[in-house]
Each structure stands twice: as structure tokens, then as C-alpha cells.
């Protein structure tokens, strides 16, 4: 995919009076689009990984190689992965990017929040808050097997033991919600949201053998029912999609990665249209 730039964590300058709420690192590919999509990327980790990861995230790198500008926000270490702080950190980062698109892309760059697993939860919560607090500021949301249902009772979730994730996800939910008084808050558990109209268009991705498949598909269906434009991709079983949950995913990701990039590029085209 061409020469890859080394990405380092840094305090990205947003202007003389605006400071970034969380450390970020910028991914740019060898080929940048004239009007690149501007992506706020939120990694997974089951709400349990608070240490900043030095290695690049393969999804963030791959999206940058499609021509997008990707800013990965370190919402975890600065919030201790607790609600509502984690979601608020990510929302502040989105708010900064929304008002400074020209600094990283162009004035017409679509702004998209992308998250996988726990990061998908935060991304969905951020999209809901953006609908409420900055209407029109967010153009799209990409949810990669979002971890959005703390009840963990879906039929597909029965497969969580098969990939050794049931206890990890249970511990993650307990940590994220902590003593928060209402686990049904829509920003904490987006599947509980009763009002989805007006949120940004979505790309929702899962796989047939994904324990989080049902909650991902159900959320996509509810978005459609609310009148939201939804693009959906369900990978076939055996494509290695659930490898996205491992803390150290190989740089190549898996055989699903090129197809994911194609889906993302198509989603961006749809937004532009």
C-alpha cells in the first residue's frame, strides 16, 4: 500500500486557545485524497486496557491507506475507561475536529467516528451525543462489532466462550459502568436508546461467527427503522474477523481487512453523494 509513516502519540495542536482533550496520533497514507475523509478512531480493548499502545492499530492504518486522514484518540488512559469520562473525552476530540476540518483535511472533508468493540460503544455514544449537542457536525459513524449491550444475553453471545471473551467482556462492562447509577443511559449502552432518529449515517460490520453479531445487527436494524441510512457488512464465518478482539492484532489484520477498506470507501462515497 505504499510507504507507511511512523505514527507517534502527541498533543495535536488545534490552535492557540484550543488544546486537545486527549493525546492523539495521526495516520496518513502514501496517497491522500483531495478531499480526504477525516476519521476519529477509537480502539477496542473491552474497557480493560488503560495502557497506551505503542504499536499502530491495523484498522486505523488501513483506513489511512485508503486516502483518509485518521486521528486515533487515546480516550482510555486519560479516562481510566470509565463512563461517562471515556465517552466525554472522545466527544471533546470529535468537537475539536469538527471545527478544525481544514487543519487536517479540507473544509469539505466528511467527519466520521470509527470504533471497534469497546471503541464501537464509545463511537455509538459519541454519535448520539453529537446528534444532541452538535447537529450536523458528524457525517458518519462506523461501528465494528460494537460492544453495546451490557446484558450479554443474545443468542450469538453464547459463542463468547469459544473465543475466550465472555469473562473479559463481563469484567469490561463492570469496570466501564462501575458505580454509575443507570446502565441504561443511551450514551453508555446505545442499544438502550429509545430515540435514534437524527443520528449520523452508519456502517455496521460484524461476522457470522461473531459473539457480538446479534447486538450489532439489531442496532443496525433499529437505526434503519429510525430512518437512518445504514450500510451493513456481515463477513462469512471463518474469515478471522474475531481476531479484531485480540490486544495485539497483526499488522495485516486478516483476510477481511481489504474488504473492510472497500466497504469504508463505499460508505465515504455514499456520504459524499
Q: What is the pLDDT of residues 171-196, one digit of tens each?
A: 999 999 986 656 678 899 999 899 99
**pLDDT recorded at residue 5:** 45
For residue range 28-47, list pLDDT tens digits in order: 887 778 899 999 999 999 99
For residue range 191-237, list pLDDT tens digits in order: 989 999 999 999 999 999 999 999 999 999 999 999 999 999 999 99
Helix-strand-coil split of the chain, %, nearest 5 = 40, 15, 50
24-272 fold: Rossmann fold (3.40.50)
Q: Is the pLDDT of residue 141 over 80?
A: yes
**pLDDT recorded at residue 249:** 47
**pLDDT recorded at residue 1:** 34
Where along the chain do its domains lie?
24-272
Q: Which of 158, 121, 155 is nearest to 47 (CA)?
A: 121
Q: How confident is the model at residue 272 (pLDDT cuts 50, 70, 90)?
A: confident
What percent of the chain clears pLDDT 90, i.e. is strictly above it? 69
Please tell me the distance from the alpha carbon of residue 269 to that of residue 252, in angstroms, as a whole number: 24
Q: Is the pLDDT of residue 6 over 60?
A: no
| 255: CB partners within 8 A, 6+ apart | 239, 240
Q: Is 47 left (phi over 0), alpha (psi -120 to 50) or beta?
A: left
**pLDDT recorded at residue 41:** 97
Q: Is the pLDDT of residue 8 over 80?
A: no
For residue range 51-66, list pLDDT tens digits in order: 667 678 889 999 999 9
Q: How confident is the model at residue 3 (pLDDT cuts 50, 70, 90)?
A: very low
**pLDDT recorded at residue 16:** 57
- Confirm if 264 and 203 have CB atoms less than 8 A apart: yes
Q: Which of 58, 72, 62, 73 is nearest to 29 (CA)?
A: 62
For residue range 239-264, list pLDDT tens digits in order: 999 999 975 544 567 899 999 999 99
In this structure, of 62-71, 104-113, 250-259, the range with the lowest mean pLDDT score is 250-259
As given in the structure block, the three cell numbers for residue 86 are 471515556
- Tell me what the mean pLDDT of segment 103-118 comes to: 94
Q: Is the pLDDT of residue 14 over 70?
A: no
Sheet of 202-207, strands arranged across: 24-28, 69-73, 38-42, 111-116, 140-144, 202-207, 230-235
**pLDDT recorded at residue 19:** 64
Amino acid at each position: 500500500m505504499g510507504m507507511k509513516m511512523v505514527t507517534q502519540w502527541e498533543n495535536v495542536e488545534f490552535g492557540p486557545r484550543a488544546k486537545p482533550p486527549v493525546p492523539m496520533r495521526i495516520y496518513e497514507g502514501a496517497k491522500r485524497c483531495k478531499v480526504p475523509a477525516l476519521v476519529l478512531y477509537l480502539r477496542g480493548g473491552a474497557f480493560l486496557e488503560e495502557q497506551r499502545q505503542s504499536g499502530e492499530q491495523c484498522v486505523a492504518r488501513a483506513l489511512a491507506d485508503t486516502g483518509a486522514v485518521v486521528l486515533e484518540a487515546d480516550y482510555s488512559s486519560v479516562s481510566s475507561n470509565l463512563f461517562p469520562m471515556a465517552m466525554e473525552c472522545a466527544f471533546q476530540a470529535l468537537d475539536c475536529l469538527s471545527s478544525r476540518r481544514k487543519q487536517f483535511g479540507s473544509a469539505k472533508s466528511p467527519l466520521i467516528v470509527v470504533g471497534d468493540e469497546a471503541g464501537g460503544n464509545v463511537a455509538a455514544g459519541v454519535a448520539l451525543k453529537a446528534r444532541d449537542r452538535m447537529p450536523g457536525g458528524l457525517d458518519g459513524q462506523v461501528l465494528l462489532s460494537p460492544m453495546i449491550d451490557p446484558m450479554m444475553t443474545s443468542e450469538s453471545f453464547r459463542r463468547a466462550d469459544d473465543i475466550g471473551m465472555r469473562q473479559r467482556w463481563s469484567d469490561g462492562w463492570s469496570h466501564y459502568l462501575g458505580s454509575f447509577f443507570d446502565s441504561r443511559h443511551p450514551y453508555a449502552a446505545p442499544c438502550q436508546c429509545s430515540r435514534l432518529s437524527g443520528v449520523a449515517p452508519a456502517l455496521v460490520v460484524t461476522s457470522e461467527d461473531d459473539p457480538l453479531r446479534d447486538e450489532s445487527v439489531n442496532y443496525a436494524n433499529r437505526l434503519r427503522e429510525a430512518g437512518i441510512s445504514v450500510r451493513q457488512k456481515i463477513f462469512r464465518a471463518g474469515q478471522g474477523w474475531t481476531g479484531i478482539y485480540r490486544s495485539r492484532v497483526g499488522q495485516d489484520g486478516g483476510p477481511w481487512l481489504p474488504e473492510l477498506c472497500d466497504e469504508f470507501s463505499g460508505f465515504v462515497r455514499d456520504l459524499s453523494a
